[in-house]
Each structure stands twice: as C-alpha cells, then as structure tokens.
Amino acid sequence: MSYLYRCTMNFDQIYQTYYPELLQFARFMTNHREWGAEIVQESFVKLFEASRRGEYVENPRAWLYRVVRNHCINHNQRNRLVLSDDQAIYDGVQQADYADSEMLNERQRQLKRTISELPRQEQMMLFLYRKQFSYKEMAEVLQMNPNSVGKTLSRIIQKVTQKIKEVNHELFEN
Amino acid sequence: MSCLRTDDIQMYLDGELSTSRQLAAESHFAQCNDCRRLLEKQQHDIKVLMDDLDAILPLENQEISPFKAPSISKHRKLSRWWWTAAVIFPLAFGIVFSWNQPDDEQQLLMQQVALDMLYESDLNAQWQSGEIQVVELEYH
C-alpha cells in the first residue's frame, strides 16, 4: 500500500486509526447508522484514490473529516433529510448508537437539548473541539478563517454553558 | 497588559496564543485576581461541558468494517463513457438519416433532373464548339 506524501502512516494504518472516530462523526451528522458507515467508506475511497495518484495530503485526519463533513451535508440535502438548526439532532436516531438516555443526568439532558438548537457548524465545532483538534485543523475541516476559530469557539462555549446555567444553575457548580 | 477577554482566555487554555502573548497572559494572571478567577471558571465550565459531551455523543464503535478498495478507476469510468458514446452516436445518426431517406418517386425525379442538367450542359458544349448551330425558326 502506498504511503501518503509526507505522512508517516500508510493507508491501512490511517484506516484503522481514524475509522471509529469518523464513523462517530458521520453518525453525529446524519443521525443514521448505515448512512454514516457508507459516507465514511466513500471518504476513505477518496483518500485511497488521492494516495494512488500521489496527491499531497498533509493532515489525513483533518482531510478525512472535511470530506466526511461535505459528504454528510450533500447527503442530507439530497435525501431531503436536512436536519435544520432548530431540529433536534437526535431525532430518529438509533438508540443503540448512544448511551442509555436513562443514565443521563439533568444537566446532560439539558446539554443535549441545547446542542440540538445550535447551528450545524457550531455543533461540528464542539465535536471537533472534544476530539482535541487544533484551531488550524478545525478551520480546515469547517472551511473557515483560522483567525476566527478562537472567538467563535469561545462564543459557542459561553452560549451553551449560559443556557444550561439559566435552566439549572446549581448543576454547573463545583 | 490590560484584562483578558473570554476568547483570549479560551485561546490561552487551548495553547493557541503566540509565545509572547502566552507569556504576557501568564504574568497578567499572576497579578490580576479578576482574570485569574475568570480563567478558573472558564476552565471548569469547559471540563464539565466536555465530560457531558462524551455522554451524549454517539458511541465510538471500535468495530472496523473492512475497506472496500475501488475496482474501477476514474480513468476506466471515463473510457466506459466514451465506449457508450461511440455506440450511441452512430446509431442515432443512422436513425436520423434513414428517417429522411427519399422515396422511389423522389429518387426518380432527382435522377431526371440530373439527366436534364447533363443534357443541357452537353448541348451547350456542342454549340460552343460549333458542332451545332442555332437556327432561327420563322413562323408564318
């Protein structure tokens, strides 16, 4: 299997390493188990072809996330399954893909509701932040200006925590 | 250095400030109680948020489906299109031309016109070479 240009991992290693988290991301975006898996496969096929052509992929992880993101957006639009910003992202999701909702505490349920009300771009940003993406990588995946990532991220975190505190203040205390 | 904004604190916590700004922020936190409290609060909020996010995100499934390598390259796909075009276009032309084919009567008429033209051109050549003469007929 060919090595990606300037990348220390070969294609198989990249596949084994990033498949689980990309599948999680695709499911988060589509709310569908099979579609998510299909999109991740398609994205890896793109990377496979790029590596075969000897294309320059500096950061395969961010590259794959960007492809998965674009696939998910196209897929949702094509299937008229656009989960609008107002719509709960967990609508119609297979419960097997999530932790038992009975186990969630009140603050986590509130967070779930709050996140579902965020625009898709902001939901994705929180996801990537959780996955410890750098600002540069986030900008690459979300196709935005790297200089505005810090400000946007700070605003999202403030917005989410503020909303949860409004509902139940003591839940956020130490 | 003046007090830090929330986005500066966010960038400080994420290690995204330039080295000089990072150092300046550190020395400011050492002097400013308000900013230090804000830093601690923001750090706590982020930790709670990230822990809760783990609980509500889809589970990270460790089962990895085998990769299905593409069997047909883009180049081959293109060739297949060309092959399809190579079959369809002659067929389409054949259908169009057979549709406009003249019938027997039209063909006979066209042949007659062609013969007439040949005959007239032959007469003209004969007249020019002097083989024949034009005789004016007198009418009585």
Tens-digit pLDDT profile for residues B40-56: 999 999 999 999 998 88
Residue B5 in this model has a pLDDT that exceeds 90: yes
Q: Do B56 and A108 touch (CB under 8 A)?
A: yes
Tell me what the pLDDT averaged over chain A comes to. 82
What average pLDDT score do residues A133-141 get? 96
Q: Which residue of A has its CA nearest to B6?
A: A154
Q: What is the mean pLDDT of residues A145-152?
A: 95
| Chain B nearest CA to A1, separation (Å) | 11
With an 8 Å Cβ cutoff, are B49 and A157 in contact?
yes
Local confidence band at A174 (pLDDT 50, 70, 90 cut-offs): low
- pLDDT tens figures, A80-123: 554 443 443 444 444 445 666 667 788 888 888 898 889 889 99
B64 CA to chain A: closest CA distance, Å? 7
Q: Is the dihedral of CA A99, A101, A102, A108 positive or negative?
A: positive
Question: Is the pLDDT at A1 greater than 60, yes or no?
Answer: no
A3/B contact by beta carbon, under 8 A? no
- Report DSSP state, residue B139: P
Q: What's the whole-number mean pLDDT along residues A147-162? A: 94
Q: How close, in Å, is residue A167 to chain B by CA atoms? A: 15
Average pLDDT over residues B36-43: 95
Q: Say yes or no for a CB contact (<8 Å) between B67 and A130.
A: no
- Quick check: B64 and A161 CB within 8 A? no
- Helix and strand numbers (H, E) in chain B are 5, 0
Contacts of A125 (CB under 8 A, 6+ apart): A138, A142, A149, A152, A153, A156
Report how far residue B89's alpha carbon sits from residue B93's, in angstroms, rounded to the nearest whole number: 6
How would residue A30 be classed by pLDDT, with cut points 50, 70 and 90? confident
A20 contact B CB<8A: yes
Taking the C-alpha atoms of residue A126 and residue B54, their distance in angstroms, rounded to an integer, is 11
> pLDDT-based confidence at B87, cuts 50/70/90?
confident
Chain B nearest-CA residue for A21: B60
- pLDDT for B136 equals 65
Asked if the Cβ–Cβ distance from B10 to A44 is below 8 Å, we say no
Per-residue model confidence (pLDDT) at position B21: 94
Residue contact B60–A98, C-beta within 8 A: no
Q: State the Cα–Cα distance between residues A160 and A122, nearest whole angstrom.
A: 11
Question: Are A100 and B55 contacting, i.e. CB atoms less than 8 angstroms apart?
Answer: no
List CB contacts (< 8 A) between A155 and chain B: 7
Give residue A64's pLDDT band: very low, low, confident or very high (50, 70, 90): very high
- Model confidence pTM above 0.95: no
Local structure of residue B138 (DSSP, 8 states): P
Which carries the bigger pLDDT value, residue A68 or residue B84?
A68
Q: What average pLDDT does the segment A67-88 reach?
A: 70
Whole-number percent of chain A with pLDDT over 90: 45
Q: What is the pLDDT of residue B77?
A: 58
- Does B71 have pLDDT greater than 60? yes
Query: Can you state the percent helix, strand and coil of chain A, rounding each to 5?
Result: 70, 0, 30
Q: Which of B78 and A136 is assigned the larger pLDDT? A: A136
**Mean pLDDT throughout A136-164?**
94
> pLDDT-based confidence at B2, cuts 50/70/90?
confident
What's the whole-number mean pLDDT along residues B106-111?
Answer: 86
Residue A38 has pLDDT above 70, yes or no: yes
Maximum mean pLDDT: which of A6-10, A88-92, B81-85: B81-85
